[in-house]
Amino acid sequence: MILAFDIGTTVLKGALLSEDGEFLSLSSRNMSLRDTLESGFYESDSGEWIESFCSVSAELLSNFDKNRLRAVVISGNGPTLVPVAKDGTFLEPVMSWIDRRGTKQSEKIGQVQDFVIDPTFYLPKAMWIADNLPEVYEKTGFFLSCPESMAFWLTGTAVTILPGLKFEKYFWSDKLLSDLGLDKNKFPDFVKPGHVTGSISKSAAAASGLPEGIPVVSAGPDFVVTLLGTAAVYPGRACDRSGTSEGINLCTETYVEDPRLMGYGHVVEPLYNVSGIISTSGKALEWIKAQLTPSGTDVSADYSVFIDAAASSPSGADGLLFLPYLAGERAPHWDPSARGAFLGLGLHHDRCDMIRAVLESTGYAMRDVIEVMTENGGRVDEMRITGGPSKSGLWNQIKADITGRRLLVPESTESELLGNLVIALRALGDTDELAASADRIVRIKDVYEPDAGRHAIYSEYFELYRESYRLLKPLFGPLAAARERTEEE
């Protein structure tokens, strides 16, 4: 048996899995995300991670013999940065992947090297701590990502998972750290996904109830294990990782180098992965639901009913477009100043049109990324979707119709946990073939084929969507500046 965990932005999931991919038990805990929307600060609570991990572990193993447990494997959200003290204490702030406070630090990195790292990545965040919280920087023994910090808590060993070849530019090098005046000893050595970080320590065993000495496998970032958990392991297969944000990851035979995308080695060597991450998809739906839900109502309830209301609105939302840039945008624009907008809003529109426009905006943003991929020779034959939004048949069909690609829904949408299993099996020596193992474990449940008529309608709206960003881009910066001046008064 393998115990797999994935630490999401607001949910920690765990599963006890058999070696053939059967879910023996499954559990999760909701977690908080502290945000200061005005300043773009988003912070996680590492103590809540540990508490949730221990609680889920106990529940998963409550009806099973712990002696049958072979390994614990962990993945998690990123790029989330965790400062850990020299004595192993988790420090604050734990800056979430969506946090953009390191904008000035990102610009400084761009002055030192040719490649500009987005503010959401690890190094700008570490620099922000050094610049603004020197006492925290001084106490920090290691800067770790989310899953590696939990592996550290379990084993006492600090590592940094490098997801694949050519990924170093998104992290750091000794030279870059030196040029920026940062202490390289605070940044652990790189290892590959699937690294056996160590074994469960006596103290972690006492706190978690897990057997002491069990191997702990660091799987790495959630988007890496999702490639395995959806079997996006052959050229032409793409993974649509849906959730708070949206990540399109395409398996290719050749390396793609385009500043609008992220290109690096696939976890299945010698293939490559080309990625485009959309900042707010599920988060945009959460936002519009909050605005359209009466005060005092539980916003988290009845998401399926809320989404299905959009079915009464026609394709194109009756002439209404929504730009989903509520927290800036990553691929393909990499524009932290970009902001959301409804375009074409009229008296004839209702809440159903507004909901549909938000749903369709994710499809347009996905197509924006896919078209850049195809410009670079990438072949997108199909998309395999995972995450909470994959449970919506309407949203799945909208995505298929807009992108013109068929959408496959795996039997299990817990792709991170299945991907963790595949990685653990290799780490334990059960298999050397990641792709074949993933293809064996992942089973497809539903297929959404694009409708030619609706695709033609959406193609016209898509061109307007892209043109809207181009025309509005010059206004985003001045709008932000005007807002800052207003706040100062």
What CATH number did the domain enclosing 88 receive? 3.30.420.40
* Residue 11 domain flag: yes
Quote the pLDDT of residue 225.
95
Looking up tokens 């959200």 gives: 77
What six digits make up the tokens of 267?
């976890």
* Residue 46 domain flag: yes
Same domain, 271 and 344: yes
Same domain, 237 and 191: no
Question: How does 133-163 read in b/e, with b if 16+ C-beta sit within 10 Å?
Answer: beeebeebbbbbbbbbbbbbbbbebbbbbbb
Q: How big is the CA angle at 230 (ends 424 and 32), to the nearest 5 degrees?
A: 80
What six digits make up the tokens of 58?
């106990």
* Residue 418 domain flag: no
Boundary-marking domain end, from 202, 224, 246:
224
Q: Is 444:231 a contact under the CB 8 Å cutoff?
A: no
Same domain, 297 and 372: yes
Same domain, 215 and 237: no
Same domain, 140 and 171: yes
Same domain, 290 and 203: no
Helices 351-375 and 452-488: crossing angle in degrees, nearest 10, is 100
Same domain, 183 and 236: no
The torsion angles phi and psi of 475, rounded to 5 degrees, stand at: -90, -20
Boundary-marking domain end, from 208, 224, 240:
224
DSSP labels, 82-123: EEEETTSPBPS-EE-TT--TTHHHHHHHHHHSSSPPPTTSHH
Same domain, 66 and 213: yes
Same domain, 214 and 329: no
* Residue 74 domain flag: yes
Integer angstrom CA distances of residue 233 from 66, 202, 274, 276: 32, 38, 12, 17
* Residue 307 domain flag: yes
How many whole angstroms separate alpha carbon 455 and alpha carbon 236? Answer: 20
Residues 6+ apart with CB under 8 A from 414: 13, 15, 23, 26, 229
* Residue 401 domain flag: yes
3-state secondary structure of 414: coil
Q: Is 395:409 a contact under the CB 8 Å cutoff?
A: no
- Taking only the tens place, the pLDDT of each residue in 196-222 is 999 999 999 999 999 999 999 999 999
How many whole angstroms separate alpha carbon 35 and alpha carbon 339? Answer: 18
Helices 282-292 and 351-375: crossing angle in degrees, nearest 10, is 170
Quote the pLDDT of residue 296.
72
Question: How does 243-266 read in b/e, with b if 16+ C-beta sit within 10 Å?
Answer: bbbbbbbbbbeeebebebbbbbbb
Q: Considering Cα of 345, then 350, then 353, then 358, what sign does the dihedral take?
A: positive
Quote the pLDDT of residue 165.
84
Residues in a beta bridge with 246: 242, 278
Which residues of the chain carry a pLDDT beneath 50? none
Half-sphere exposure of 309 (CA within 13 A, CB side): 18
Same domain, 205 and 311: no
How many whole angstroms separate alpha carbon 425 and alpha carbon 409? Answer: 24
- Taking only the tens place, the pLDDT of each residue in 243-293 is 888 999 999 999 999 999 999 999 999 999 999 999 999 999 999 999 998
Same domain, 357 and 236: yes
Q: Is 85:79 a contact under the CB 8 Å cutoff?
A: no
* Residue 26 domain flag: yes
Half-sphere exposure of 75 (CA within 13 A, CB side): 33
* Residue 128 domain flag: yes
Boundary-marking domain end, from 203, 224, 245:
224
Quote the pLDDT of residue 37.
64
Residue range of the domain that includes 246: 230-410+451-489
Q: What one-letter code names the amino acid at 133?
A: L
How many whole angstroms separate alpha carbon 6 and alpha carbon 243? Answer: 14
By residue count, the chain amounts to 489
Residues in a beta bridge with 248: 240, 276
Same domain, 150 and 299: no
**Across the beta sheet with 215-221, what order do the strands follow?**
23-30, 11-17, 2-7, 71-76, 215-221, 195-199
3-state secondary structure of 7: strand
Quote the pLDDT of residue 429.
95
The C-alpha R_g of the chain, in whole angstroms, comes to 22
How many whole angstroms separate alpha carbon 69 and alpha carbon 25? Answer: 13
Residues in a beta bridge with 274: 250, 263
What six digits make up the tokens of 154?
């379990």
Name the domain count of the chain.
2
How many whole angstroms separate alpha carbon 139 and alpha carbon 146? Answer: 19
